[in-house]
Amino acid sequence: MATSHFTSPLAVETIQTPQRKTLSTPPDTPIYESDYESPALKKKNAQNSIIEFPYDLEVVRDSDGASVEFGHGVWSKVYKATSSMSTGKPMMMTPPSSPIISTSIKSNRVVAVKTPLRRDAHPILRAEANILSRIASTSGADEERDYVVPFYGYIPSSHALVLQALPLSLSTHIEICADHARKHFSTRTMFDPVTPHWRELATQLIKGLDWLHTKIDVVHGDIKPHNILLRPRQSSASSLEAGAGIEMEYEALYADFSSAHFISSTN
């Protein structure tokens, strides 16, 4: 299958990745993908251990035919896309170690595709893919889901990263809450202590930072509200701040590892 390339601005609507061969001799231990898990295959070869994205993508367009953007930065733009997942068949890994058996993969999943704005961004995004692959491949994947935006894989032909789509940033959330506070200003509550909402978000971020430093051996390098994304909690418990009507239903996840680096020089 031919592989399409990203340009800037985006000139193609469908990105395709090469098909892998099916596994002919199943090894001993199968790995099962749940519906919540990343669809990335943890491909390792002699040159690198970067996870590659094995499925086709289609960029979402608005009513005027323009590509829908989630955001942009110095090096890249992030587009909204859908992914047509394959179903059911184990895929070959290099080297072959364990088959991946899809048990509940949905088609047409919405994802975020981070693409380079210029040629000198190519090594930046590849380095980011290397770090995100290290995070995704580290034991304790449950923790990774708690602290970092899930990484689905890298597309070498277009130097693009595929990640979970999380459109709400902490910076936008702060602006929304500040606007709410201005509209409901009261001198009676203006000197009240920090609400549990912000204390909980801060606790999540501190735990995530400690995990990145001690477990992954990575420094993020560019922590700011724009690089922290919020994901709605999957908890059934409802929690609202008394009198404010602001939901405490978000998990704070670190995003944009383009400035990140490994702490140890051996990495």
Report pLDDT digits (tens) over 45-64.
Answer: 333 489 999 999 999 999 99
Q: Render pLDDT for 88-109 as a digit per residue (tens, 0 to 9).
A: 333 333 444 444 434 444 468 8
pLDDT at 254: 97
Token pair for residue 239?
């929690």
Can you say whether residue 176 is alpha, beta or left, with left for phi > 0 and alpha for psi between -120 and 50 degrees?
Answer: alpha
pLDDT at 142: 59
Q: Which of 17-31, 48-62, 191-205, 235-249 has the lowest mean pLDDT?
A: 17-31
CA 207 vs CA 197, 251, 263: distances in Å: 16, 12, 18
What average pLDDT does this structure show over 187-194? Answer: 73
pTM value? Answer: 0.71
**Could you tell me the domains of the chain?**
14-164 (3.30.200.20), 170-262 (no CATH)
